[in-house]
Amino acid sequence: MGVSVDWQDITYENTFEAEVRGLQRRRERDPSCTIADLQGVLQHLYHMDGADWGGRGAVQDITLAATIAAYEHTIAQWKQSSELCFGEAFSNN
């Protein structure tokens, strides 16, 4: 039974890490990318998650959950780093 959980955990972790890397790369290389852009995609992902009337299956459910978590994580980190930068800039004036 442990084996069946392992593939699910591995799939989730691999998807999450790949999405976070991709989002970080996008942020570094695309100056037009904003938090609002990522939030828009996240809203679409939430919609997709709730629209499972036909059934996706375990792999797609895990992949979608990991993708949503990666967007949430990246947005939270971006906001936190923005607040830190803003706070430092404000305190230096």
Q: What does the alpha-carbon distance between residue 56 and residue 69 come to, in Å, rounded to a whole number?
A: 18
Contacts of 77-83 with CB under 8 Å at 24 or more apart are 78/27, 78/35, 78/38, 79/35, 82/35
Q: What percent of the chain lies above the pLDDT cut of 90?
A: 70
- Residue 74 structural domain: 2-92
18 falls in which pLDDT band (50, 70, 90)? very high
pLDDT band for position 88 (50/70/90)? Answer: low
- Reply yes or no on whether the pLDDT at 38 is more than 90: yes
Give the predicted TM-score (pTM) of the model: 0.82
Q: How many structural domains are present in the chain?
A: 1
Q: Which of residues 84 and 22 earns the better pLDDT score? A: 22
Query: Which runs of consecutive H residues, i.e. helices, occur in the chain?
Result: 2-29, 35-50, 58-92
User: Mean pLDDT, to the nearest integer, of 20-31?
Assistant: 96
Could you tell me if 64 and 56 are in contact, meaning their C-beta atoms sit under 8 angstroms apart? yes
Residue 71: exposed, middle, or buried by beta-carbon count in 10 A (0-12, 13-18, 19+)? Answer: buried
pLDDT band at 93 (very low <50, low <70, confident <90, very high): very low
